[in-house]
A and B are shown apart, each in its own frame.
Chain A
Amino acid sequence: MNAPFYKFDLFSQDFSLLIAFVIGIGFGFFLERGGLGSSTKLAAQFYFRDLTVFKVMFTAIITAMLGLYWLSWFGFLDLTLVYVNPTYILPQLLGGLIFGIGFVIGGLCPGTCLVSTSTGKIDGAFTLLGIFFGIFVFGETVTFLYDFLYSTSAGQITIPQLLNLPHSVVLLLIVVLAISGFAGAEALEKKYSAKEK
């Protein structure tokens, strides 16, 4: 078992920054390849015209999820050393709702707006500026939000742990859900794109 490499001291922190850059290139590359650098394409998701966002996102999730499982099962990767985001139920629920509203207004999310800006879309640049401004506003108001921000914490908890189900059962459920979702997405696209014409 020697992965995650960084957690096993296989290279220095400085080198990890280089890794970050390389991984970022891959990230940006595939985002743009899939068309996620275009706000009109992303927003079409919410009118059922073009469900690319859903397809790309969930394909990525199940790919990584399956990869994590199998690499771990074969003893290559130590899953316990991978950082799991802590859960804060209410802040993430409310944050998600607000983010969703912002998403359909702006048409891009933080990662994709960078890709959008770098490929020349001015609306991407404005979204980017907006994000910085939003973070700035948060910074100025964080004192008042503190109590809410740290409420309903549940620690680093995963769905299998929450539902007390085996890891692989939840994995199967998510894979099946995603693929059913894809089938549904194809059907929706057919239906609503026809309407457009």
Chain B
Amino acid sequence: MTSIVERLSLSSTRRVADEKKAQPYLNPYLAGIGLGIVLLLAFVVMGRGLGASGGFTSMLTAGVNAVAPEHAAQNEMYSSYIAESEQSPLTDWLVFELIGVVFGGLISAFFAGRIKKTVERGPGISSKGRLALAFFGGTLMGFAAKMARGCTSGQALTGGALMSVGSWIFMIAIFIGAYAFAYFMRRQWI
């Protein structure tokens, strides 16, 4: 920690650089163990694993239900997410879990000095292009996640640990699809 005198004598740019100095990431294996323990805890306490796409669907369902309830009721996907009881689709385990994810990420980033407004991209593409591709990639993933009944959190991590056949098929297919298409995306990233 720099002393007050030293701080005052630093130029403003340097001060900013020091304060925003991000710490290096945790060793991936250690992070993986931490994640694995969280996943295990979910199994032990709830009898279920983690997830993400289901929670997003619940949120979307709540939104659609608020704006156009008749459409939600007769649509097969939305109606299955609307519980028969009075409870809102937002009282869903995954929704609360996702809210926790936001806070968890925030806490970790805060202590590591990694909160920063930015557009992450490779050198070969503009911010606008990156954002457009991000949206498009997200669309494909959202659609595919519903088709496969899960995403990397729910199927790959959870199903992977449970050795579920479909989950491993999904996981391997993700790697195949991503590596195969990586060539076409190299401008965006490297």
- Direct A–B touching, Cβ under 8 Å: yes
Per-residue CB contact flags for chain B residues 159-175 toward chain A (1 = under 8 Å, else 0) read 11111111111111111
CB distance from B24 to the nearest CB of A (A): 9
Residues of B within 8 A of A82 (CB): 43, 47-48, 162
Residues 18-77 of B at the A interface (beta carbon under 8 Å): 25-26, 28-29, 31-50, 52-53, 56-57, 59-60, 64, 75-77
Given contact pairs A30-B34, A85-B164, A92-B149, A133 touches B135 in the complex (Cβ within 8 A)? yes
* A122 close to B (CB within 8 Å): yes
CB distance from A148 to the nearest CB of B (A): 8
Interface of A is mostly: helix
* A129 close to B (CB within 8 Å): yes
Given contact pairs A95-B144, A154-B166, A5 touches B44 in the complex (Cβ within 8 A)? yes
Identify the closest chain B residue to A102 (Cβ). B140
* B10 close to A (CB within 8 Å): no
CB distance from A171 to the nearest CB of B (A): 8
Q: Identify the interface centre among A17, A57, A100, A162: most chain B CB within 10 Å of its CB.
A: A100
For the complex, count residues of A whose C-beta is within 8 A of B: 129
| One of A5, A41, A67, A108 near B37 (C-beta < 8 A) | A67
Residues of B within 8 A of A142 (CB): 75-77, 146
Residues 57-81 of A at the B interface (beta carbon under 8 Å): 57-65, 67-68, 71, 76-77, 81
B residues in contact (CB < 8 Å) with A: 25-26, 28-29, 31-50, 52-53, 56-57, 59-60, 64, 75-78, 91, 93-109, 112, 114-122, 130-182, 185-186, 188-190
Known contacts A100-B173, A120-B118; 8 further A-B pairs (Cβ under 8 A): A25-B100, A35-B25, A65-B163, A82-B43, A99-B151, A103-B141, A119-B115, A139-B77
